[in-house]
Structure 1
């Protein structure tokens, strides 16, 4: 069988091109550090690598979301710290104002200091983050959540939702509590609050109420203490029940509660006792109530009793508001701790994805260098063979 010179040339060129292509392919792998440079290099590994890369990108997006959530929660925690300090300072002033040694002018001075705390608190309630978004406005975070009404009272005008961020595939975390939850709520364990009717004309003051028996059948209900004075004899009834004789300094027991009443009532005077969540839960309304009573002079026994009762109620409401703020702050701290845990889990997940991606597409340099050397030798052999074959000619033998 005769082999033509063209055939020899074509076969030699094909062999050299194939060897050169394989040699360049290995060189490209070494240069890029990847075993799978093109999908055709390993279609199955390339397909799996795309899926792993997508999972890795989603994990990184959640990592960025957690950074945003941590910043928001840290800002809220800082504001809540200031709010709790403000309430604690207000409580100190109320204790000072309740002292019988203070004059009306002294109480006006206390009210002036209390108003400063009040204004500071409003500013904290309308605090913004670094991007101008109001922290406590829910999803209506483009305008101040607390504004003054026409009567001067502070009202909440945002929504009652809490802004949330998805920090992981299965976790949607609140990153900002709305103003109602922080400034206009109390905890479920807040207990009872008593408040004297603003129309009372007698001098009865109260202390309490204090819980003595939560298993009492009447515990959890509301109580209305009404006084009646007929021919100089004072009696009281609870929720319209049978009248009972009243004596100043006596302790009243009802519904698992106890209260101490002092002073002389007037006919029709009333004191309401109910669970804190059914009474005033608005921190700003508590401030307004305290300021109003402190800025008014009290000369009669009735006015002094009204002031004492109001300050008693205000102190209990401040206590409940402080407990609520501290509870919200604890919740913020728990969420910050949860972010740390999720970060740790996500970091391990990221490492696993990176390792899986590396196993699929990254290059084994030891194997690649050995392959590179082998392909280099193959290419050189093909080139040398072509040179040797090209030199074969009968004319060289003449």
Structure 2
């Protein structure tokens, strides 16, 4: 092939352009201190870098989940702390209500405090996090608790939101509303905090405020059981000179037969008047106590009077000051336990967040090692390219300036 002046110039121009492009690219790499990102430059490094960046993105999601979980659990902890404070406030009301010298005005003031605490409990049970999601509603979109007449119903579900904090670790970000508010372990079985609050308000209101869980008379007494709105079973303890027996009677109906059947154990006999009132007789003291009814009313269950018209209303045994105190003690302990559970979850999230940050630091170091440019090596290579460019340009100038006459001399 004949090498003409035109072809020589074209080839030289291409080489100069390639050199200039490589020099410019290397200068840009030195300025940014980043290696060539193209997979063709180093396929093995490109695969490692892709995997590292994918892990970096995954850890970023785990970190965001940890932050969200920590915020949600912090809201739950604050709410549970306020719930515990309200339960202690209600317990204090129970203790004050047990004062035998308490006036009707004082009782009315305590009732206002109890009603306010009950409303605060309802609001706290429906507390939401920063995203507007109920803290105790599970996966339900609406409120966790709703009012239906005089009762409060759990309207959430048993789902428990969780946060993915690693490839294998999922941590709950809240507690179940039903377990927190509807399952206080009392001697009478699981009760809701709202039921306990309603019981306390009822004891501070007429007629329960003027009732007693136990009535006593000497030799003779009159017992009239309150009629329930629907069939129900009443139970109470009858104590006479001979001992105590639990009486059970289905209402509507008369407890006459049940009382007389137990007469050998109690020493108490009964007769019935036309209006259904039972006249109890014994040689000694007669006591009726521990009364309850299957429909759990917040109302008077019976009237008990002695021969000299002393006595009065009998209320369910669960409204006794000692029973209420025990119930609210259980509620305070229950809330402390629930708050401890939330704290344990928050501690787990914090620990995992620290682990995520450590992993992010390590993966960032690995990515830096794959991406960062060896500046000293790059500068040496740049100097070589500049020297090569300068030599090539000088050579080109010498050759390009020659003509045929120079070769014929």
Q: Which has the larger radius of gyration?
A: 2
Q: State the partner residue of 1:368.
A: 378
Consecutive unaligned residues of structure 2, counting only runs of 5 or more, are 192-207, 217-234, 249-261, 267-284, 301-308
Aligned partners of 1:2, 1:12: CA distance in 2, in Å?
16
1:62 paired with 2:84, answer no
TM-aligned CA distance change 1:371 to 1:233, over 3 Å: same
Check conservation: 2:186, 2:327, Cα contact below 8 A: no
1:178 paired with 2:189, answer no
Aligned partners of 2:137, 2:387: CA distance in 1, in Å?
73
Q: State the partner residue of 2:156.
A: 158
How far residue 303 of structure 1 moved from its aligned partner, in angstroms, is 3.7
What is the aligned residue count?
334
Q: Relative contact order: is structure 1 or structure 2 higher (C-alpha 8 Å, sep ≥ 6)?
A: 1
Per-residue CA deviation, residues 42-65 of structure 1 (Å, 9 max, x unaligned), is 122112211111110010011111
Which is worse superposed, 7-16 or 324-333?
Answer: 7-16
TM-aligned CA distance change 1:4 to 1:308, over 3 Å: closer
Aligned partners of 1:340, 1:384: CA distance in 2, in Å?
67
TM-aligned CA distance change 1:79 to 1:202, over 3 Å: closer
Q: State the partner residue of 2:95.
A: 95
Query: Alpha carbon RMSD of aligned pairs, Å?
Result: 3.8
TM-aligned CA distance change 1:140 to 1:351, over 3 Å: same
TM-aligned CA distance change 1:307 to 1:114, over 3 Å: farther
Aligned partners of 1:335, 1:124: CA distance in 2, in Å?
20
Check conservation: 2:70, 2:350, Cα contact below 8 A: no
1:167 paired with 2:165, answer yes
Q: Secondary structure at the match of 1:168?
A: coil
Q: Secondary structure at the match of 1:147?
A: strand
Question: 1:183-198 maps to which residues of 2 (within 5 A)?
Answer: 183-186=181-184, 192-193=187-188
Per-residue CA deviation, residues 271-327 of structure 1 (Å, 9 max, x unaligned), is 68xxxxxx9xxxxx9xx96xx79xxxxx96464775785332222221222212111
1:203 paired with 2:203, answer no
1:52 paired with 2:62, answer no
Q: State the partner residue of 1:265.
A: 287
Consecutive unaligned residues of structure 1, counting only runs of 5 or more, are 205-224, 247-262, 273-278, 280-284, 294-298
1:147 paired with 2:122, answer no
Question: 1:1-398 maps to which residues of 2 (within 5 A)?
Answer: 5=5, 8-9=8-9, 12-141=12-141, 143-150=142-149, 152-186=150-184, 192-193=187-188, 202-203=214-215, 227-229=237-239, 232-236=241-245, 265-266=287-288, 270=290, 301=311, 303=313, 309-396=319-406
Check conservation: 2:290, 2:317, Cα contact below 8 A: no
Check conservation: 1:34, 1:361, Cα contact below 8 A: yes
